[in-house]
Amino acid sequence: MRSPIHREGWPFIAIFAVLNFLIWRFSHLGGICFLPLTLWCVAFFRDPERTPPPGENRIVSPADGKLLPIVEAVPPEELGLGPAPRRRLSIFMNVFNVHVNRMPVSGTVVALAYRPGRFFNASFDKASVHNERMSARVRPTGASDPSADLAVVQIAGLVARRIVCDISEGAQVRRGGRYGMIRFGSRLDVYLPPSAKIVVQDGSMTTAGETVLAEL
């Protein structure tokens, strides 16, 4: 049985719990005031089960959060997808969202690249270009044409200081499967292949592994 808390969270939860206990020992009122922060820490690292909708041609959201305006943008150059702009769907995660990231499609990880960078607010458009990121290029199952590849990019935010990515180049991934997380506020970008049809609207709230963003 999988734990409802992501493994990355246990050290932080332990620290918050110990601090809460020590504050309580010195001041019951202080301990009560600190308790919401401890509960927030537990909630931040929650890792609920998700069930992807049927249909292998569907691209699902990689993150819980709010869909930012859909734009045309050039994918991260380190993935080798070329200079042509693609439609980019960006999901902004605030500190109250589930931060476990899930794969948008089933397929093969063709390329994986980390790039250090800045820590602008993840809701800003420039975060996609300038912030620290981990980019993955995925070829959907059954596709042979490289133009069918999509990119999913984990982007650090204003207070995010660690991107966790649990996949490797050449790995087989499944749609809706867990593949990493970002600590404390961030965003994920999905660069769609040209043939994809977007079925979600700007401003929509998304659920990782379940909300359909587009169809191949």
How do residues 10-47 score in pLDDT, each as one tens digit? 888 999 999 999 999 999 999 999 999 999 889 888 99
**3-class DSSP state of 137:** strand
**Inter-residue contact 210 to 61 (CB < 8 Å):** yes
pLDDT cut 90: percent of the chain above it: 65
The structure tokens 């590849």 sit at: 149
**Inter-residue contact 216 to 195 (CB < 8 Å):** yes
Residue 144 or residue 158, greater confidence: 144
Averaged over 56-75, what is the pLDDT? 94
pLDDT cut 70: percent of the chain above it: 96
Averaged over 197-202, what is the pLDDT? 93
**In 3D, which of 202, 138, 146 has the Cα closest to residue 175?**
138
Neighbours of 162 (CB within 10 A): 12
Residue 161, pLDDT score? 65
**In 3D, which of 169, 143, 121, 181 has the Cα closest to residue 59?**
143
Cβ neighbors of 121 (< 8 A, separation 6 or more) are 127, 157, 158
DSSP helix, strand, coil percent of the chain (3-state; round to 5): 20, 35, 45
Residue 160, pLDDT score? 59
Neighbours of 37 (CB within 10 A): 11
**Inter-residue contact 51 to 210 (CB < 8 Å):** yes
Residue 117 or residue 32, greater confidence: 32
Neighbours of 36 (CB within 10 A): 9
Q: Which of 90, 128, 135, 186 is catalytic?
A: 186
As a whole number of angstroms, the distance between CA 207 and CA 55 comes to 17
Averaged over 113-125, what is the pLDDT? 79
Residue 186 annotated as catalytic: yes
Residue 179, pLDDT score? 94
As a whole number of angstroms, the distance between CA 196 and CA 208 comes to 19
pLDDT tier, 185 (very low <50, low <70, confident <90, very high otherwise): low
